Amino acid sequence: MPTSLPPLRWGDVPTRLWAGAWLLVGGGAAIAGSNTEALWVLALGTVAHAAGWCLLPSAGWRRTVAVAPATLTMWLLLAGPRFVIVLVVPYLLWLLVRHRSALAALTAVPVAMVALLVGDAFGQDYTRMLTALGIVGVAMLAAGWLAQLIDRRRRR
């Protein structure tokens, strides 16, 4: 996060970043893993996912913009592994909230490629959803580090 931002009104950056990230991932996994017999998991996951975006250290408008589209994409995952491509949207929103440059958005391309490959390989086999999420999640994590590296190099 750029140091030019005003100081946080509450908490510190590392704590808010970790708490927000855990709520995002946990809430997203709960949404994707819910079903008609456990709708409470869907509700709890939705609340946790939205709260995760609200906790992240960032300019307020960026977090506000991210909540609805990211939560909607998590709900789209209910259709099965074929739809993991929608995870590109929350990844791009993550870059927005983390104040990454437009050049860093190019790191969404490998995320999309991995998601397409995983979606094609796993199809509609919902029993493999956790594996699909894990694979695309690792791709998102690696791409996020690459985006951070790109921004650090640009600042030099």
pLDDT (tens digit, 9 = 90+) per residue, 129-151? 889 999 999 999 999 999 999 99
Q: Give residue 5's pLDDT.
A: 56
pLDDT (tens digit, 9 = 90+) per residue, 90-135? 999 999 999 999 999 999 999 999 999 999 999 888 889 889 999 9
Q: Give residue 8's pLDDT.
A: 74
Q: Does residue 117 lie in a domain region? A: yes
Q: Give residue 86's pLDDT.
A: 96
Residue 148, both tokens: 């951070």
CA distances from 73 to 28, 31, 90 (A): 9, 10, 7
> Band of the pLDDT at 58, cuts 50, 70, 90?
confident
| 17: pLDDT strictly greater than 80 | yes
Mean pLDDT of 52-81: 92
Q: Give residue 6's pLDDT.
A: 59
Q: Give residue 3's pLDDT.
A: 46
Enclosing domain of residue 74: 13-155
Q: Does residue 69 lie in a domain region? A: yes
Q: Give residue 34's pLDDT.
A: 85
Q: Does residue 85 lie in a domain region? A: yes
> Band of the pLDDT at 4, cuts 50, 70, 90?
very low
In degrees, to the nearest 5, what angle opens at C-alpha 146 toward C-alphas 79 and 51? 50
Q: Does residue 38 lie in a domain region? A: yes
Ranking 29-33, 40-44, 72-76, 82-86 by mean pLDDT, the lowest is 29-33
The pTM of the full predicted model, rounded to 2 decimals, is: 0.90
In degrees, to the nearest 5, what angle opens at C-alpha 87 toward C-alphas 20 and 101? 70
Q: Does residue 67 lie in a domain region? A: yes
Indicate the number of domains in the chain: 1
